[in-house]
């Protein structure tokens, strides 16, 4: 007995709808996902209001790589690979895994990290910097302050910008941290205004980041909106930062 054409059409529609949904879900959940930058801790690399594309496959998959916990892995990662020093990453805050943070990878397992007089040491060797002008640091309340800009070169010749206001702040002199196996050490490029691995979890900071908590690697800024200074309503269009759109994150 032949299946009525209406039933065939409905079945075809449902199958096509399933594959469309699966493709959209895969592309936004398992391959890449957009993220928004709410703070200035990664200035000058990232600005408040940047929208990023973060690839999920870069370091493998964990329960934090997808928006829903499907129970694929109870802990650890599938197809796991470590990030490189200098990668800009999105990860789940270890003390509150509902919160996503974005920082730069500074230390890998067994690395020794320390700040002395505002300078970064990795494995007891000072990380070179060079002066690269000045820049305006934006705060969450709309204030802006000038800071010295430097180019820092991590081991492996990974160069990236940082901001420094001073050399004797609370986070400019630390103990020597030894990164445990299965963890990384992450810091913000805005060194004097970043709550990161330099501050322990018990003190309200980030501490060492378990590799399991990695969500993905930030690759590009796809758009940026200066909502802090957009005004009302005439400044809405001028608040679009076209010069930051479609730029690669380094």
Of the residues 39, 65, 103, 197, only one is catalytic, namely: 103
Point out which residues pair with 136 in neighbouring strands: 146
Could you give the CA distance from residue 196 to residue 150 in angstroms, rounded to a whole number?
Answer: 19
In this structure, what are the phi and psi dihedrals at residue 214, rounded to the nearest 5 degrees?
-65, 130
Q: Who's near 11: CB < 8 A, 6+ residues apart?
A: none
- Beta carbons of 214 and 183 less than 8 angstroms apart: no
Of the residues 41, 62, 65, 224, only one is catalytic, namely: 41
Does 41 qualify as catalytic in the annotation? yes
Question: Following DSSP, what letter does each residue of 58-117 receive, concatenated?
Answer: BTBB-TTSSSS---S-SSS-BS--PPPTT-EEEEEETTEEEEEEEEEEEE-TT-EEEEET
Could you give the CA distance from residue 202 to residue 192 in angstroms, rounded to a whole number?
Answer: 20
Does 125 qualify as catalytic in the annotation? no
Q: What SS3 string covers 129-160?
A: EEEEEEEEEECCCCCEEEEEEEEEEECCCEEE
- Beta carbons of 10 and 154 less than 8 angstroms apart: no
What are the catalytic residues? 41, 103
């Amino acid at each position: 007995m032949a299946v009525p054409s209406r039933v065939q059409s409905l079945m075809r529609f449902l199958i096509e709808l399933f594959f469309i949904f699966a493709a959209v879900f895969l592309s936004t959940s398992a391959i890449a996902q957009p993220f928004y930058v709410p703070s200035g801790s990664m200035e000058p690399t990232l600005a408040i209001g940047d929208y990023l594309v973060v690839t999920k496959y870069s370091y493998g998959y964990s329960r934090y790589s997808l928006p829903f916990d499907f129970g694929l892995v109870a802990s650890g990662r599938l197809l796991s690979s470590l990030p490189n020093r200098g990668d800009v990453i999105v990860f789940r805050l270890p003390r509150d895994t509902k919160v996503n943070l974005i920082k730069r990878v500074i230390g890998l397992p067994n690395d020794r990290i320390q700040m002395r007089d505002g300078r970064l040491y990795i494995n007891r060797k000072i990380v070179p910097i060079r002066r690269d002008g000045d820049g305006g640091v934006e705060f969450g309340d709309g204030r802006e302050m000038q800071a010295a800009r430097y180019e820092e070169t991590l081991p492996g010749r990974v160069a990236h910008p940082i901001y420094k206001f001073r050399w004797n702040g609370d986070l400019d002199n630390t103990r020597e941290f030894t990164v445990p196996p299965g963890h990384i050490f992450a810091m913000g490029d805005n060194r004097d205004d970043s709550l990161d691995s330099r501050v322990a979890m018990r003190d309200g900071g980030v501490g060492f980041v378990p590799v399991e908590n990695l969500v993905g690697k930030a690759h590009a800024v796809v758009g940026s909106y200066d909502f802090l200074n957009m005004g009302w309503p005439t400044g809405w269009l001028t608040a679009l930062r076209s010069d930051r759109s479609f730029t690669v994150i380094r």
